[in-house]
Amino acid sequence: MPETHSAWYFAERPQGEPDLDCFDLREEERPSPNPGELLVEVQYLSVDPYMRGRMDDRESYAEPWDVGDVLKGAVVGEVVESHHHSYEEGDFVTGEGAWAEYSVLDGDDVGPVDPSIADPEAYLGVLGMPGRTAYFGLLEEGEPKPGDTVVVSGAAGAVGSVVGQIASMNGCHVVGFAGSEEKTDWLTDDLGFDAAINYKTTEDYRAALDDAAPGGVDVYFDNVGGPITDAVFTKLNLDARVAVCGQIAHYNAESVPMGPRKLPMLIAPRATVQGLLVGDYATRFGEASKQLAQWVGAGELEHRETIVEGLDRAPEAFLGLFSGDNIGKQVVQVSEPSA
């Protein structure tokens, strides 16, 4: 009798806000790797805001999920069967896999996980796609200079928390928006942000920015959109740079969201606004991974993961992203480490 495992399937497309009906947990036969592939026992899987876009039947940068497909995303796990010359049983790897207990990964597309640098779950956050997004987005599109004021929305998230710290390393005055006192405390007490604004308890974001960023805003790294962004755009300095990484405030909108027109605000400061996708920097991922690992290893870059335990709770962890349940990177623990 073949061995079975559990895997999450995409059950239906959401209208607006997704809910648990979008997901279907199935018991099925464990997958088998082909030549060049690895069978991995998934230890952690990543849930990310960008996945909301994959739930819509609309061409975009990430391929839409098809109803009936197994859900996929970044995972970390242990190789239990290798058909690739670079890996052997017992190795820890990270790559694009299934929301499942076991997943087949292409051996050419995975990366190694070095537990001497950080716990495996960090490879889904600071040492994974979110960390690289922060690295390239801030450094290449934000171009932070010493003395610049850098404002980050979603600052306590997987990307924002790294952005702020790299900005600090570059001698910037760093201000973060986050959604709880625990988060804002983390930013200022542990991550070295110069100021943090709790957007859930602050009424007047523009006034809060006048206090936190009295010299105006040179770089805005936007993960959120909505009223936070509306306020920041009124404070842009000459030659300000805005990196649009995410707009989580709008991902569940059922119609085109409306807001204050921003283009008139760009003329006087000659500001530049640029959409950001980390995949554009794929040829330089090695550079980023090396630098991020060095900073993490040296204790210069803090990171935190919010862990939801149990594959069965993966949809819940995903939905929690939209209410800001996570501090740092949201991951799902699928299995205990074998060691």
Q: Which one of 260, 310, 312, 338 is in contact with a copy of itself (CB under 8 A)?
A: 260
| Binding segment toward a copy of itself, per CB under 8 A, in 8-16, 118-126, 151-159, 261-269 | 261-269
Neighbouring residues of 218: CB distance < 8 A, sequence distance ≥ 6: 144, 145, 148, 149, 150, 172, 237, 239, 240, 241
Number of residues lying near a copy of itself (CB under 8 A): 32
Per CB under 8 A, does 31 bind a copy of itself? no
CB 72 within 8 A of CB 24: no
Cα 139 to Cα 70, 163, 167, 190, 278: the distances in Å are: 35, 9, 8, 22, 12
Q: Which stretch binds a copy of itself (CB under 8 A): 78-86, 118-126, 246-254, 313-321?
A: 246-254
CB closer to a copy of itself, 263 vs 339 = 263
Q: How far apart are CA 15 and CA 18, in angstroms?
A: 7
Which sign does the torsion angle of CA 79, 334, 20, 253 carry?
negative
Residue 262 CB, shortest distance to a copy of itself, in Å, is 7
Check binding of 326 to a copy of itself (CB under 8 A).
no
58 to each of 227, 249, 328, how far by Cα in Å?
A: 26, 19, 29
CA–CA separation, 220 vs 174, rounded Å? 10
CB of 248 to a copy of itself, least distance (A): 10
Q: Which of 130, 190, 183 is nearest to 155 (CA)?
A: 183
For 263-304, give the DSSP string. Answer: HHHHHTTT-EEEE--GGGGGGGHHHHHHHHHHHHHTT-S---
First to last CA, the chain: 28
In the complex, the smallest distance separating the C-beta of residue 14 from a copy of itself, rounded to whole angstroms, is 17
Give whichever of 271 and 332 is closer to a copy of itself, judged by the CB atom: 271
Q: Which is nearer to a copy of itself, 232 or 332 (CB)?
A: 232
Q: Residue 117 burial (CB < 10 Å; 0-12/13-18/19+)?
A: middle
Site string for a copy of itself, 50-89 (x = CB under 8 A): ----------xx----------------------------
Decide: is 139 part of the binding site for a copy of itself (CB under 8 A).
no
Counting contacts by CB under 8 A, is residue 49 touching a copy of itself? no
Of the residues 71, 150, 195, 244, which one makes contact with a copy of itself according to CB under 8 A = 244
The pattern of x and - marking residues 268 through 297 that bind a copy of itself according to CB under 8 A reads: xxxxxxxxxx--x-----------------
Cβ-contact 75, 40 below 8 angstroms: yes
Q: Which stretch binds a copy of itself (CB under 8 A): 1-9, 80-88, 131-139, 240-248?
A: 240-248
Question: Which residues lie near a copy of itself (CB under 8 A)?
Answer: 60-61, 222, 225, 229, 244-247, 250, 256-264, 266-277, 280
